[in-house]
Amino acid sequence: QVQLVESGGGLVQAGGSLRLSCATSQRTFRGYTLAWFRQAPGKEREFVAALRWSGQSTGYADAVKGRFTFYRENTPNTVYLQMNSLKPEDTAVYYCAADSTIILSSWRQPNQYDYWGQGTQVTVSS
């Protein structure tokens, strides 16, 4: 069982930045596709960004493209979501997800991911 733990959420003013982290209980994310989703009150969970560990391919929702960056550093069991130029509409609970069998055409679909973190709250004030 893969466990995911998100951290880095908080309250920030519009225009500010936050960096979210997602760490796994396993030694590495190698072979996995990782993703961030978010869910605002009363709304469905929506895709934010995805990263394929091998090759480091990334994809972003149009709403965050150019402002958010999903990346990994040298730590093999942690990934990061850098969020810049935050807007009040970015307010949501952000979830990290992982799966080892997703194909690229499906990586925006939350039901394709087997493993989820508990979520971290991001609140952007105007």
- The confidence score (pLDDT) of residue 74 equals 85
Between 57 and 104, whose confidence is greater?
57
- Could you read off the pLDDT of 52-85 as tens digits, one per residue? 988 779 999 999 999 999 999 888 999 999 999 9
- The confidence score (pLDDT) of residue 1 equals 83
- The mean pLDDT value for 109-113 works out to 95
DSSP string, 20-81: EEEEESSS--TT-EEEEEEE-TTS--EEEEEEETTTT-EEE-TTTTTTEEEEE-S-TTEEEE
pLDDT > 90 in the chain, percent: 83
Query: Over the chain, what is the mean pLDDT?
Result: 95
Is residue 124 predicted with pLDDT exceeding 90?
Answer: yes
